[in-house]
């Protein structure tokens, strides 16, 4: 990771938030991560405007131009994308403000909680995440799960607006993201930014928390035999994520480490030789229960170096786990 010395400028260096460039990319663009309380991050969220897409007196009848407005007095507007004239521009700031107000309506105050903001290089794509206070619990293995709210938005049509919950497993100082079942705490798209509508949606999803906790406790006690795991890795996971990701997952499950698989033809994924690179915290290998298998998948998802891949991998975990639960006892 590289820390840019002058990212905010000298007048802001005393502020408590941190900013750095990550080694992720997002649709090919560099990713900037900022951390801090939501009120501290809010002024650094870019604002966008819409203009006719034109050159001189000639205007495109079907397209508009999206520009990023200056955050500093020395900046200039920056063209970001062209969009259809029917496209609804949703500002990142409006998403954050609406979610903040919606949480307040259901008596959840995140004003003092540290949050994380990921922005693509020009700010056109945003992912914001924050822990929900007093919602963490221990599923039974000593590593708490923390509930987080996530907001995903773009102003260039590259992704739809999404407001969803996910669990974050605290292992030492590291975290392993785990996506929730699509039928429970995740929805693909929020149609309205009315805080009352969002509050109702969030309340409905939070009401499912007891069932989620029970499911993870059951998973922790659900044993799956080695041969079923091997078959699942070689067939289900390899088909969804490819043989090399499947090989890495098997090594985390069986040995507790991650690494680089060798590209050997005609070998099943669980048999691929792998160069050991890092011990996975909280892997609990050799894994025998469903919950720790799910965390091996979560680790793989969290190591993807593009934001879009990372999100897609996380979303696919419940689907992969559903296929394995049939063989557990």
> What are the boundaries of each domain within the chain?
10-208, 222-325
**The pLDDT of residue 183:** 36
Q: Where do we find the tokens 């407005």?
A: 69
- C-alpha to C-alpha distance for 53 and 277, rounded to whole angstroms: 50
Question: Could you tell me if 291 and 167 are in contact, meaning their C-beta atoms sit under 8 angstroms apart?
Answer: no
Low-confidence ranges of the chain (pLDDT < 70): 1-20, 172-191
CB neighbours of 69 closer than 8 A, spacing ≥ 6?
46, 47, 48, 49, 77
Question: Could you tell me if 162 and 151 are in contact, meaning their C-beta atoms sit under 8 angstroms apart?
Answer: yes
**The pLDDT of residue 15:** 36
pTM of the model: 0.84
């Amino acid at each position: 990771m590289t820390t840019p010395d002058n990212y905010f400028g000298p007048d802001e260096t005393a502020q408590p938030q941190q900013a750095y460039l990550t080694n992720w990319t997002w649709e090919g663009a560099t990713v900037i991560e900022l951390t801090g309380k939501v009120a501290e991050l809010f002024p650094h969220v870019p604002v966008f405007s819409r203009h006719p897409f034109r050159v001189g007196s000639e205007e495109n009848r079907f397209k508009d131009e999206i520009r990023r407005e200056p955050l500093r007095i020395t900046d200039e507007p920056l063209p970001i994308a062209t969009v259809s004239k029917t496209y609804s521009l949703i500002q990142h700031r409006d998403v954050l403000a609406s979610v903040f107000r919606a949480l307040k309506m259901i008596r959840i105050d995140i004003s003092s909680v540290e949050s994380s903001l990921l922005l693509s290089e020009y700010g056109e794509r945003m992912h914001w995440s924050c822990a929900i206070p007093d919602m963490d619990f221990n599923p039974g293995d000593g590593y708490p799960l923390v509930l987080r709210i996530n907001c995903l938005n773009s102003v260039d049509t590259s992704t739809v607006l999404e407001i969803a919950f996910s669990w974050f497993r605290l292992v030492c100082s590291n975290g392993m993201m785990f996506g929730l079942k699509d039928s429970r705490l995740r929805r693909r798209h929020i149609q309205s930014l009315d805080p009352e509508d969002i509050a109702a949606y969030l309340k409905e999803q939070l009401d499912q928390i007891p069932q989620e906790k029970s499911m993870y406790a059951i998973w922790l006690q659900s044993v799956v035999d080695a041969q079923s795991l091997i078959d699942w890795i070689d067939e289900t996971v390899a088909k969804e994520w490819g043989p090399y990701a499947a090989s890495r997952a098997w090594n985390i499950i069986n040995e507790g480490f991650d690494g680089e698989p060798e590209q050997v033809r005609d070998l099943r994924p669980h048999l691929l030789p792998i160069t050991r690179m890092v011990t996975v915290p909280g892997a609990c290998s050799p894994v025998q229960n469903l919950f720790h298998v799910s965390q091996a998948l979560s680790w793989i998802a969290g190591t993807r170096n593009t934001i879009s891949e990372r999100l897609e991998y996380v979303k696919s975990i419940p689907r992969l786990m559903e296929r394995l639960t049939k063989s557990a006892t």
